[in-house]
């Protein structure tokens, strides 16, 4: 299916990193991977994930005010915590005080406000018993190490892929996303991930779904790293960007980019034919703080002033 016309025209999307990590304000998934927090303490955040102020209609209104045409929610990051009541795996909202599906209301609220629905999903799950974690070239040694190559258990790996596929099926069938934003692919090869089969099963149900570049050869658009590229890629592309220096909620990170900087990223990106996917990190109870909301509104006001009639 050719690229959906909405995507290359969208210009602005909002990325939402919402998950367990917001409870203690630690880095999303990477904090326990690096050992900055123990796995036990990381998982203890479950008790504080309340979502009690979760109001996706208010988020959708804010995103529309920012001038966005789509938004992408982290439905399950590398830590394995699913924001919906999945039938696959143990680690999801039903194990937290939130206790209910948060993805469905997000999708409904965006649609209601005329925005396209994007769902983020990590291929890797560093908390799944069948997932052999890879030690990266990081500064801190990770306590979780994969077995040597060739010694991974093929039965466990098949179970892991069945779990991932089951979750992706749930996301696609229940929420009918317009875009799927995969992540975490770097730990395995395209063949090990079964990318082709996964793309086929998604598109069989939702042929119009746009797939990001972390679906490797089946991706529909490019995702340049580290800023606006000097030479833009051919075809549609998207730059993802944090407002401060964190993807998720981190109260000590106050290094928020001024609205003027966000405007520059936005204009440079769309001037070179891309979309900007600008990230927010809600608190564990589901609020987008004024530091971030005000910047989204500021960018939206600028876009509004400069939009063609």
Residues that bind ligand JFZ (CB under 6 A): 28-30, 183, 223, 225, 240, 247
CB closest to ligand JFZ, residue no: 225
Q: How far is the CB of 213 from ligand JFZ (least distance, A)?
A: 8
Minimum distance from residue 250 beta carbon to ligand JFZ (Å): 12
We find the least distance from the C-beta atom of residue 28 to ligand JFZ, in angstroms, to be: 5
For residue 112, the SS3 value is: helix
**Residue closer to ligand JFZ, measured from CB, 18 or 30:** 30
Smaller CB separation from ligand JFZ, 113 or 122: 122
Q: Which is closer to ligand JFZ, CB of 96 or CB of 242?
A: 242
Q: Of 78, 167, 89, 87, which is closest to residue 130 (Cα–Cα)?
A: 89
Q: How far is the CB of 178 from ligand JFZ (least distance, A)?
A: 19
Residue 290 CB partners (closer than 8 Å, separation 6+): none
Question: Between residues 39 and 201, which has the closer beta carbon with respect to ligand JFZ?
Answer: 39
In whole angstroms, what is the distance from residue 160 CA to residue 181 CA? 19
**How far is residue 216's CA from residue 236's CA, in Å, rounded to a whole number?**
15
Task: Label residue 84 left, alpha or beta by phi (over 0 means left) and psi (-120 to 50 means alpha).
Answer: beta
CA distance 138 to 121: 23
Cβ proximity to ligand JFZ: between 33 and 63 the closer is 33
What is the nearest approach in angstroms of ligand JFZ to the Cβ of residue 248?
8
Longest dimension (CA), the chain: 62
């Amino acid at each position: 299916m050719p690229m959906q016309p909405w995507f290359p025209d969208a210009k602005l999307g909002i990325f939402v990193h919402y998950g367990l990590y917001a409870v203690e304000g630690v880095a999303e998934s990477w904090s326990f991977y690096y050992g900055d927090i123990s796995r036990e303490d990381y998982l203890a955040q479950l008790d504080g994930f309340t979502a009690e102020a979760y109001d996706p209609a208010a988020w959708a209104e804010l995103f529309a005010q920012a001038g966005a045409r789509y938004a992408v929610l982290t439905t399950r990051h590398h830590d394995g915590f699913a924001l919906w009541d999945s039938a696959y795996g143990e680690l999801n909202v039903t194990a937290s005080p939130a206790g209910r599906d948060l993805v469905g209301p997000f999708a409904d609220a965006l649609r209601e406000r005329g925005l396209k629905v994007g769902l983020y999903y990590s291929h890797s799950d560093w908390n799944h018993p069948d997932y052999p974690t890879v030690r990266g070239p990081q500064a801190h040694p990770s306590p979780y190490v994969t077995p040597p190559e060739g010694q991974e258990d093929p039965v466990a790996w098949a179970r892991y892929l069945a779990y991932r596929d089951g979750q992706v099926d749930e996301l696609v069938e229940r929420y009918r996303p317009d875009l799927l934003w995969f992540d975490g692919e770097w730990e395995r090869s395209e063949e090990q991930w079964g990318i082709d089969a996964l793309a086929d099963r998604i598109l069989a149900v939702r042929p119009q779904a746009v797939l990001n570049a972390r679906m490797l050869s089946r991706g529909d658009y490019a995702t340049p790293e580290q800023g606006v590229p000097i030479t833009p890629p051919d075809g549609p592309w998207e730059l993802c960007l944090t407002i401060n220096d964190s993807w998720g909620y981190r109260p000590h990170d106050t290094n928020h980019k001024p609205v003027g900087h966000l405007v520059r990223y936005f204009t440079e990106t769309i001037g070179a034919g891309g979309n900007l996917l600008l990230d927010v990190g809600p608190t564990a109870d589901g609020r987008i703080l004024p530091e971030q909301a005000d910047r989204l509104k500021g960018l939206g006001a600028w876009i509004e002033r400069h939009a063609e009639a």
